[in-house]
Amino acid sequence: MKRRIIYFGLSGLCFVICYIIVRSFSGNPVIRGFLGDIVIVLLIYSFLKGIRDFNSIKLVLFTLALSYTTEFLQYLQISKYLGLENNLAAQLIIGSVFDPLDLLAYTIGGVMAYLADKLIGFYLFR
């Protein structure tokens, strides 16, 4: 139970960071785009880890597959084909612009999530 609280706390912290990034750095593509994508992967990973103690490797691979799929759907302009290009919620979830650097940001976020998970396990749950 203690482990889940820690991961939910981390996901909450990541959510707050994402909110700050969106509200305060919308004009900065490096922070809004790149750093935001790293943090969103951390948020998804920690939230899912808070729900259940998934295998770390499988969870990071799932999180990355979800992120890469979202980016691929942006490449296909799925929002346009579904008529959601003016829907704010869809734009936040699916995104709107394909950027190959996002794939790098997702990968960095996945590595960071995995390493953070291992550090948490090592220092808090020996």
d(CA 3, CA 49): 9
The pLDDT value given to residue 93:
76
What is the average pLDDT across 76-100?
A: 82
d(CA 95, CA 67): 11
Tell me the pLDDT of the chain averaged across its residues: 90
Helices (H), the chain: 2-24, 29, 36-51, 56-75, 78-81, 88-94, 100-124
Asked if 114 contacts 57 with a C-beta cutoff of 8 angstroms, the reply is yes
* pLDDT for residue 76 is more than 80: yes
d(CA 40, CA 31): 12
d(CA 77, CA 107): 22
Task: Report how many domains make up the chain.
Answer: 1
Two tokens at 14? Answer: 């990541």
The pTM is what?
0.89
Give which of 32, 29, 30, 2 is closest to 17, Cα–Cα. Answer: 32
Quote the domain boundaries for residue 35.
Answer: 2-124
The pLDDT value given to residue 84:
83
Give 36-71 pLDDT, tens digit per residue: 999 999 999 999 999 998 999 999 999 999 999 999
Two tokens at 62? Answer: 């799932």
